[in-house]
Amino acid sequence: MNAGLRPIRSYVLRQGRVSPAQQRAFETLWPRWGLSYAPGPLSPAEWTSLFGREAPLVLEIGFGMGEGTVAVARGLPHINFVAVDVHMPGIGSLLKQIGEAGLENVRVMRHDAVDVVEHMIAPGTLDGVHIFFPDPWPKARHHKRRLIQPAFAELLASRLKPGGTLHLATDWEDYAIQMLSVLRAVPALRNTVADYAPRPDYRPLTKFEQRGLRLGHGVWDLVFRKL
C-alpha cells in the first residue's frame, strides 16, 4: 500500500458464524463465481474473459450479506458486477443467492477492497462504483477507519472511466457530510446534483432502511461522475 493510503483497515475481521449452507455454497460455488485476489491489474481482455462477455463493469464494495447485490445485479443484467467483501458468512450467503438465481453477471471477491482497487483494477477501467452503507464507525476516535477518506476517493476516481459514476449511500448524517466534502474535493469528480441525490431506482430499499425511514431516520445517496 502506498504512503497516501491508510494502513488502518475499515473493518475488523470477526470470526462470525458461517452456517453449513454458507460453507457448502462457498465450497461448491466459489470455483464458478469467485475471483481470487492477485496483486496485478487485469487487462480489459481479462475482465471480458472472466465474465464471458464485454459489458460495463461496476465494482461493489462491502456487500454485507449480499441481498442488495443480487437485487441490483438482477435489475441491471447488462452490467458486469465485481462484489468485494471480507466477511466470510457474507461471501457464502452471496454465493448461495447467486447460485440459486443463476446470475451470470456477478463475480465475488474476498479481500480488502482498498487493495483490490489499488492493485487489481487499472486506471480508467470502471463504469461505476457502489458503496452502500459502509461501516459508519460512529465514535470520533474511530473515524479514521471510515472507508471514505480523501486518498481512497482519489484512488476510486482514478479507476473510473470518464463518465463513470461513484454511488455512495449512508444512514449516518455526519458520515454523509464527510462523504460530500471528501468527494467535492476530488478534482476529477463532479456531483450529479447540488448535494444529495434521490435514491436511484436500481438501489433497492432494504428492510432495515424501510424501518429507519419509518422512524424518521434519514438516508443520503451521493452520485458523482468522473470528468
Ligand X SMILES: C[S@@+](CC[C@H](N)C(=O)[O-])C[C@H]1O[C@@H](n2cnc3c(N)ncnc32)[C@H](O)[C@@H]1O
Q: Binding residues for ligand X, per CB under 6 A?
A: 10-11, 61-64, 68, 84-87, 90, 112-114, 132-135, 147, 206
CB of 113 to ligand X, least distance (A): 3
User: Using CB atoms within 10 A of its CB, is residue 160 exposed (0-12), middle (13-18) or buried (19+)?
Assistant: buried
CB of 227 to ligand X, least distance (A): 26
CB closer to ligand X, 146 vs 226: 146
CB closer to ligand X, 99 vs 204: 204
**Which amino acid type is present at position 168?**
L
* Strand, coil or helix: 181: helix
CB closer to ligand X, 58 vs 114: 114
Q: Is 112 a known active-site residue?
A: no
DSSP 26-64: HHHHHHHHB----SSPPPHHHHHHHHTS---EEEEE--T
- Helical H segments across the chain, by residue range: 20-33, 44-51, 67-75, 88-101, 113-115, 150-159, 173-184, 207-214
- Quote the CA–CA distance of 89 and 69 in Å, as a whole number: 15
Q: Which residues pair with 226 in a beta bridge?
A: 189
CB of 26 to ligand X, least distance (A): 16
CB closer to ligand X, 45 vs 139: 139
**Largest Cα–Cα separation, the chain:** 48
Q: Which of 85, 135, 201, 221 is catalytic?
A: 135
CB of 208 to ligand X, least distance (A): 7
CB closer to ligand X, 30 vs 48: 30
CB of 8 to ligand X, least distance (A): 10
C-alpha cell at 201: 431506482
- Quote the CA–CA distance of 70 and 98 in Å, as a whole number: 7
Q: Which residues are catalytic?
A: 135
